[in-house]
A and B are shown apart, each in its own frame.
Chain A
Amino acid sequence: MTEQSPIQNLAKSTFVYVTFIRTTPEKLWQALLQPEFTQQYWFGVTMKSDWKTGSPWRMTLSDGRLGDTGEVLECDPPKRLVLSWRNEFMPELTAEGFTRCTMELVPDRGAVKLTITHKSDVADSKLIKAVSGGWPTILSNLKSLLETGEIALTPNP
């Protein structure tokens, strides 16, 4: 077999989610980072940072608790954002250390292709499992907000 994959364990703790949103890269970039947008489609969370390479970022949950934190590893608006990412409110996830989340925006046939890749070096990462459940709803809401001005689904409490 020529296609054995030595990186299978790494791939196990990766997800890649893609959505196409009829908007511009600039608007999508704003929506990904600005609190007034994220609060609407992302279960009430806000992200805070100056979004410069090397700067810290932090996410605050809707109830004011600290959610996740990390460092801005790459920031090339409105094309590419790479963040190191650690959960801070569930000890067993915090213990897994930093993961890496990449957001790529590529104009595609009148829309923007948004690809979110989230990886952990930990095999069978619990953090990856936890976030992979939430992203599809977040992305559907984001798409709906940008395309229609409303979110499709209010997050479950």
Chain B
Amino acid sequence: MDDDAVFRALADASRRQLLDRLHDRDGQTLGDLCMGLQMTRQAVTKHLAILEDANLIATKRQGREKLHFINPVPINEIAERWIGKFEGPRLAALSDLKTRLEGEDQ
């Protein structure tokens, strides 16, 4: 897969927001994803196409509906390329610590 396409797709706050929404609840339709967003339906459609080209989302037809699923595999590949091999356990510990400390702040 093309790493450039993955980074380009991720280099946009709206697209990251769409991924966040799928991460919260996977398998949403275009209509579900548009709800409560400031973007037009056309803009969301365009962003979803870029995410799908980068293999960051996968789509499945179910009856009349097209459902969108977050596909974490390319991000995992990027992580393992530079991080996983050496730093996995330590980074996981650090990230747990960050989550805990930031959780306490709120």
Contacts and interface: CB of A to CB of B under 8 A. Distances in A.
Contacts of B63: 7
B29 A17 contact: no
Contacts of A86: none
B62 A156 contact: no
Nearest to B35: A1
A94 interface: no
Contacts of B25: 12
Nearest to B85: A153
Interface string A6-28: 01100110111111100000000
A151 B22 CA distance: 29
Contact of A18 (B27, B65, B67, B73): B73
Given A115-B58, A152-B85, A16 B69 contact: yes
A10 B6 CA distance: 28
Interface string B18-61: 00000001111111100000000000000000000001001010
A156 B90 CA distance: 12
Q: A-side binding surface: helix, strand, loop or mixed?
A: mixed
Contact of B65 (A5, A19, A115, A136): A5
Interface stretch (A31-39, A56-64, A73-81, A137-145): A137-145
A156 B88 contact: yes
A156 B69 CA distance: 27
Nearest to B56: A18
Interface string B54-95: 010010101101010101111111001100110011000000
Given A1-B31, A16-B69, 20 more contacts: A3-B30, A3-B32, A4-B31, A5-B28, A5-B65, A7-B62, A7-B63, A11-B27, A11-B28, A12-B25, A15-B26, A16-B58, A17-B73, A20-B1, A117-B60, A136-B73, A136-B75, A140-B77, A152-B85, A156-B88
